[in-house]
Amino acid sequence: MSDQAGKTISENSAEPLINLLGQTEEDLQNFFSGLGEKPFRARQVMQWIHQRNARQFDEMTDLSKSLRTELHRLATVELPEVISEQRSADGTVKWLFESGGGQAVETVFIPEPGRGTLCISSQVGCALDCAFCATGAQGFNRNLKVAEIVGQVTHANRHLPLRPNGEPAITNVVFMGMGEPLANFRNVLSALNILLSDYAYGLSRRRVTVSTSGIVPQIEKLGDACNVSLAVSLHAPNDELRDRLVPINRLHPIADLLDASWRYAAKRANRFITFEYVMLRDVNDTIEHADQLAGLLRNRPAKVNLIPFNPFAGNDYERSRSETIERFQNRLRHHGVVSTTRRTRGDDIDAACGQLAGKVRDRVRVRLGDKRQRIATA
């Protein structure tokens, strides 16, 4: 292309191109001021990328030709590479994105009447090793970059049809895919910044939820930096059981986690914390557990979201019976604790909570298998 004609190989190899997809407004303002440009260029470029779906700088017609040439030389807009897209019978869509080294992360879109929720990943694998989680079983590989986190939203937004009212399909974003978002704090914070920006996705804080297994100091930091909705993966009403199910509890026990949660809620009036509770048969689903849980959450700004356990290969836990889940929920209600049961969506394409690593592990296993075979036959 003529714009790129002046680019020399040495220019290309000296400086890696900067991916504008993962830059916040402030990052872009700094970038443009370094080029002697006005700060408002940041907003223009964000709108082109996130709202007007530009794929090339040449489409950004309100930038001067010379600035576009400069952008070609220095920058790129690179979305994560899609490995596959699957659509479930219930309308759920799951994408698998390449994340290098034979690994992949997953993103799931869940359409519901009145809203469309995108569930995104923040890490490749997870180090926290919760006993019932496929991502945990996979182990930790690496943190996703800002562009890889935001890119899941950008890709989905570009590939989902508008809602009947003409608005974008994605009304809510939840960090409930693979990884522990608060263990990738800096990148998640920048990604949140872009999701909330009026020049990108313009989502309200209420409609963006970070789910954490309970990294207490980071909960405090998130509350100060960006008070989005918070979901806490509690899963057990006492430390003895939680130590086993969610090992980070040994470092940050329930009392500390709840203190941090109430402080987080207090930073905004009328803000509830959602407590996720995976229903594991005969493990955490008795009436006594419901009573203990209610004891922790009663008269607090708390809602409980019961998640029927989603089984996966190599894990021995079982899902609680539906009567047990109903009884548990009624008991919480009896104590005045608001609770809902999450409907399992997309399980025919392994897109339900905690199933997200299945395909990845299989892929990795296949590759390792190939390698072993090659070594064996070499």
Binding site for ligand SF4 (CB under 6 A): 126, 128-130, 133, 135-136, 179-180, 213, 233
273 contributes a contact to ligand SAH by CB under 6 A: no
Judged by CB, which is closer to ligand SF4: 197, or 213? Answer: 213
Judged by CB, which is closer to ligand SF4: 77, or 120? Answer: 120
233 contributes a contact to ligand SAH by CB under 6 A: yes
Can you give the three-state secondary structure of the chain, one letter per residue? CHHHCCCCHHHHHHCCCEEHHHCCHHHHHHHHHHCCCCCHHHHHHHHHHHHCCCCCHHHCCCCCHHHHHHHHHHEECCCCCEEEEEECCCCCEEEEEECCCCCEEEEEEEEECCEEEEECCCEEECCCCCCCCHHHHHCEEEECCHHHHHHHHHHHHHHCCCCCCCCCCCCEEEECCCCCHHHHHHHHHHHHHHHHCCCCCCCCHHHEEEEECCCHHHHHHHHHHCCCEEEEECCCCCHHHHHHHCHHHHCCCHHHHHHHHHHHHHCCCCCCEEEEEEEECCCCCCHHHHHHHHHHHCCCCEEEEEEECCCCCCCCCCECCHHHHHHHHHHHHHCCCEEEECCCCCHHHCCCCCCCCHHHHHHHHHHHHHHHHHHHHC
25 contributes a contact to ligand SAH by CB under 6 A: no
Place of tokens 């920048």: 190
37 contributes a contact to ligand SAH by CB under 6 A: no
106 contributes a contact to ligand SAH by CB under 6 A: no
176 binds, among ligand SAH, ligand SF4, none (CB under 5 to 8 A by kind): ligand SAH
Q: Please indicate whether residue 353 is annotated as part of the active site.
A: yes
310 binds, among ligand SF4, ligand SAH, none (CB under 5 to 8 A by kind): ligand SAH
275 contributes a contact to ligand SAH by CB under 6 A: no
Nearest approach, Cβ of 178 to ligand SAH (angstroms)? 7
Instruction: Give the count of residues interacting with ligand SAH (CB under 6 A).
Output: 16
> Segment 157-216, which members bind ligand SAH (CB under 6 A)?
176, 180, 211-213
Nearest approach, Cβ of 258 to ligand SAH (angstroms)? 15
Nearest approach, Cβ of 230 to ligand SAH (angstroms)? 10
Nearest approach, Cβ of 136 to ligand SAH (angstroms)? 7
346 binds, among ligand SF4, ligand SAH, none (CB under 5 to 8 A by kind): none
Distance CA 254, CA 256 (A): 5
Q: What are phi and psi of 88, to 5 degrees?
A: -85, 160
236 contributes a contact to ligand SAH by CB under 6 A: no
Nearest approach, Cβ of 27 to ligand SAH (angstroms)? 26
Q: Please indicate whether residue 106 is annotated as part of the active site.
A: yes
Closest residue to ligand SF4 using C-beta atoms: 136
Judged by CB, which is closer to ligand SAH: 72, or 207? Answer: 207
Contact indicator for 273, 261 with CB cutoff of 8 Å:
yes
Annotated catalytic residue: which of 70, 106, 180, 276?
Answer: 106
284 contributes a contact to ligand SAH by CB under 6 A: no
Neighbours of 220 (CB within 10 A): 15
Judged by CB, which is closer to ligand SF4: 46, or 353? Answer: 353
Give the residue from 112, 251, 116 showing the smallest Cα distance to 180.
251
Nearest approach, Cβ of 310 to ligand SAH (angstroms)? 4
Q: State the catalytic residues.
A: 106, 353
Q: Which residues bind ligand SAH (CB under 6 A)?
A: 130, 132-133, 176, 180, 211-213, 233, 276, 278, 307, 309-310, 353-354
